[in-house]
Amino acid sequence: MRVLIIGTTGLNMKALASSLEKFHREQSRGKLGLYFVEEELKKEVDWVIFLDSDDYYWQERVWREAVAKTVARVEEEAPDHAAIFMNLPYFRKSRFFPAVDISVLRAFKPDLLMTLIEEAHVIWRRIQIREGREKTGATLRLKDVFAWRTASILIGDTIAKALGVQNVVVAVKHPAKTIYGIAIGAARPRFYLSFPITYTRGDPEARREIDAFRAEMHKRFYAFDPLTIDERVLRTAKRQGNIVVIEAEDRWLLPEGVRPAVEDEPELYPMEIPVDQVEEVLIDIDNLIRFKDFRFILQSDAVVVYRPFMKKMFHKGVFSEIMYASNTAHKRLFIYLPPDDRTTGMDSPFDPGVGTIEERLEKFFEVIERFAARFSAE
């Protein structure tokens, strides 16, 4: 399996590579080669001069040469599985570059393209800390990081179409098992987890129950989890004067016992972001979250819905995902709807054609297991 892995600067790609390599050793599936285009590029040019150059054609050329040398290394070393990591696109002084040379990427013959994403505020803070140490002249507002991520997904889609492969968008805080399974193992089926978030965020009991469901799904299957990126914390974080303060405990990420492939560095918190930068992105934050979640649904084979009427409440986000999955993405739905969530005399609001609806949790997992077994048989 060969995979091309891209993402913006500020993603901790080396940490992800380390997690994938560790997981691979446990699988004993031959030699895994991990390669980084930026390492090859920095052997030839001064990094800051490269970023700041006004010679756009030179930037294109040295990037292309670095990719070609990386691909040549793959061919020379001939690992059983190979992943090439690269930042795409670069962003400097409000300018994206370079224009991608498809021919040099086609020489790698990738089976899959993967675009990595992470919380914009985490990347913003990580770049800020790095800039304090290295003085490269990088200055970004929070909204720039959001735009950068969208551009990275777009360029990933463009490259994937040209190469005739799929571009899978994955948050780096998914478990290593999931990212490895998709990138190296071509794992199927892939499930999207839909569950109440907004109205349960401040309810410890509801969160424990939801996290137990999430933990079980991650243990049994390959699942895209919306809370591997928690950017709604930008809306709920405390304000102190002209600063928004995010504490590590404010996040709702993976459940206890499920470790992300990439963890936040402790030095990121408490994270202080100017209020004006947060307000710039709050206008679009719900749309950006919805875009990310819907993308996960599109990449899935089925959507698993947990208690859409939890505590007899209408959870708007869950229902928007149900409607998108059934009407737009045409995905199979598995819905857990226990009797406790129905008001007296209430029938199921879901037409049988929407998907499989179960009242007992054990039966719910059983039907999902049977669905997954079909992929194993194939």
Residue range 145-180, pLDDT digits in tens: 999 999 999 999 999 999 999 999 999 999 999 999
Torsion sign across C-alpha atoms 250, 316, 313, 298: negative
Say what the pTM is: 0.95
What pLDDT does residue 260 have?
97
pLDDT greater than 60 at residue 335: yes
Average pLDDT, the chain: 94
Specify whether the CB–CB gap between 85 and 35 falls below 8 A.
yes
Residues 6+ apart with CB under 8 A from 351: none
Residue range 210-237, pLDDT digits in tens: 999 999 999 999 999 999 999 999 999 9
Specify whether the CB–CB gap between 72 and 121 falls below 8 A.
no
Domain 2-292 is found in CATH 3.40.50.10490: no
What pLDDT does residue 347 have?
55
pLDDT greater than 60 at residue 329: yes
What pLDDT does residue 276 have?
97
Q: How confident is the model at residue 102 (pLDDT cuts 50, 70, 90)?
A: very high
Domains of the chain by residue range = 2-292, 301-377
Residue range 4-16, pLDDT digits in tens: 999 999 999 999 9
Q: How far apart are CA 106 and CA 100, in angstroms?
A: 11
What six digits make up the tokens of 11?
């993603």
What pLDDT does residue 346 have?
52
What pLDDT does residue 349 have?
60
Specify whether the CB–CB gap between 92 and 241 falls below 8 A.
no
The per-residue DSSP string of 68-132 comes to HHHHHHHHHH--SEEEEEEE-SEEETTEEE----HHHHHTT--SEEEEEE--HHHHHHHHHHHHH
